[in-house]
């Protein structure tokens, strides 16, 4: 379980393509500082398991084909920057919201509208998850816990908007994600449980 509060910007330093998977080596001195084999680290919002810790500043993780196909991790290459977060500790503050690290769908950056103190980013909203997204509700974008500031639709389909403060722009990959960039989306898990409870037994 994670909170969606990115701890550091990491970097993909190696990628090994396997038959039905890929092995990534990710540099992230902070999240690696106390990591060991079997620990969970979210990479762009995807919960990955640490295989090895290398030189105290990097770790390796295996990503199966299913995850590569259903998230934006398949597009990562050596040199790609990534959002990193260690699993939440039960005795720490919950600064964001409950994030599982299980990607529900991928969206795409549609547009960016900068202003003096923040930037509004519009992201396409896949129909498969649109019912779980509400204005002023929480959503995770590439591992970042954010508040939905607007919902809408146009000739290209549904979209939602998020407003990014300077800190988020500076310290996460969303700061430099250009229109057309795919992003991992995870909706609030509580919404899915509520839907399941309402439809159970029908």
In this prediction, residue 93 carries a pLDDT of: 72
Give pTM, 2 decimals.
0.92
CB contact set of 75 (below 8 Å; sequence gap of 6+): 182
List alpha helices for the chain, DSSP H. 29-32, 65-70, 166-171, 189-199
What residues in the chain have per-residue pLDDT under 50? none
**Cα end-to-end distance, the chain, whole Å:** 31
- Which residues are CB-neighbours of 40 under 8 A, at least 6 positions away? 47, 48, 49, 50, 86, 87, 101
Specify the pLDDT at position 117: 86
Please give the pLDDT value at position 202: 63
Tell me if domain 8-86 and domain 105-199 are identical in fold: yes
pLDDT at 201: 61
The third-level CATH classification (topology) of the domain covering 8-86 is Elongation Factor Tu (Ef-tu); domain 3 (2.40.30)
pLDDT attached to residue 133 = 96
Q: Provide CB contacts within 8 A for 6, sequence distance 6+.
A: 83, 84, 85, 143, 144, 171, 172
What is the predicted pLDDT for the residue at 116?
85
Tally Cβ neighbours within 10 Å of residue 159: 19
Q: Give the model's pLDDT for residue 126.
A: 96
**What residue ranges do the domains of the chain occupy?**
8-86, 105-199
* Residue 123, helix vs strand vs coil: strand
Q: Which residue has the tokens 């990503």?
A: 63
Fold of 105-199: Elongation Factor Tu (Ef-tu); domain 3 (2.40.30)
């Amino acid at each position: 379980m994670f909170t969606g509060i990115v701890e550091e910007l990491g970097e993909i330093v190696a990628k090994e393509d396997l038959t039905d998977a890929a092995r990534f080596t990710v540099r992230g001195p902070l999240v690696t500082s106390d990591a060991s084999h079997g620990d969970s680290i979210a990479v762009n919002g995807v919960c990955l398991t640490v295989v090895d810790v290398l030189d105290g500043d990097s770790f390796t993780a295996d990503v199966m084909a299913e995850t590569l196909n259903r998230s934006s991790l398949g597009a990562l290459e050596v040199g790609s920057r990534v959002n990193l977060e260690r699993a939440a500790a039960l005795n720490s503050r919950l600064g964001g919201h409950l994030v599982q690290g299980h990607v529900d769908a991928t969206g795409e950056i549609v547009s960016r509208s900068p202003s003096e103190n923040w930037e509004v980013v519009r992201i396409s909203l896949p129909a498969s998850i649109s019912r779980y997204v509400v204005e002023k509700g929480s959503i995770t974008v590439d591992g970042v816990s954010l508040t939905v500031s607007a919902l809408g639709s146009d000739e290209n389909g549904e979209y939602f908007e998020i407003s990014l403060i300077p800190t988020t722009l500076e310290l996460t990959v969303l700061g430099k994600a250009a229109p057309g960039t795919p992003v991992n989306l995870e909706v609030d898990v509580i919404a899915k449980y509520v839907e399941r409870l309402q439809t159970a037994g029908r």
